[in-house]
Amino acid sequence: MARIAPPDSVRIDLFLENGNSGGFVILIADSLTALAQDEARRSLPPPPLLWATLGVVRVTAGDTVARQDGDTLRVEIGRDPTWRMAFGTRTLGRMERITGGRVEQMVERRDSTRVVYRQPAAGRSLVLTIRRVIPEPGFDAAIWRP
């Protein structure tokens, strides 16, 4: 479950495949606090890619190159490491962190219900499944404290 308080706060409750709690993550701007089981913690993306799982781009500005490729906008920000993004007609579809010319980590938003984070060199991945979206007017302040 993700509870989002725009523009810069999110709490994500993690659940294992068997439905048991895997802990939670609090992300405020670029500060990440994770109270999760070891396996879940090791599989978490860094803050910019965690934001990308929610369709939000939060990277430090740098040299930027953008090009339109049909209905896809492709953007690269920075140099080694470089952030590479692909936007569909309405949303962020993919974001990669490239170091030394290789994809180090990536987030792919395949559709409106499935997001996959991969760290190819470590053989790690994390699949986030979006089951429903419930608009919420606000949250109790206690959810932002570990």
Q: pLDDT tens track of the chain, all 146 residues?
A: 788 888 888 888 887 778 787 788 888 998 888 886 666 667 788 899 999 988 889 888 778 999 999 999 999 999 888 999 999 888 899 999 999 999 999 999 878 789 999 999 888 888 888 877 777 777 777 777 77
- pLDDT value of position 12: 85
Instruction: Read off the pTM.
Output: 0.79
Which own/partner contact pairs does 1-10 have at CB distance under 8 Å and 24+ positions apart? 2/54, 3/136, 3/139, 3/143, 4/54, 5/138, 5/139, 9/144, 10/51, 10/54
CA 16 to chain centre: 18
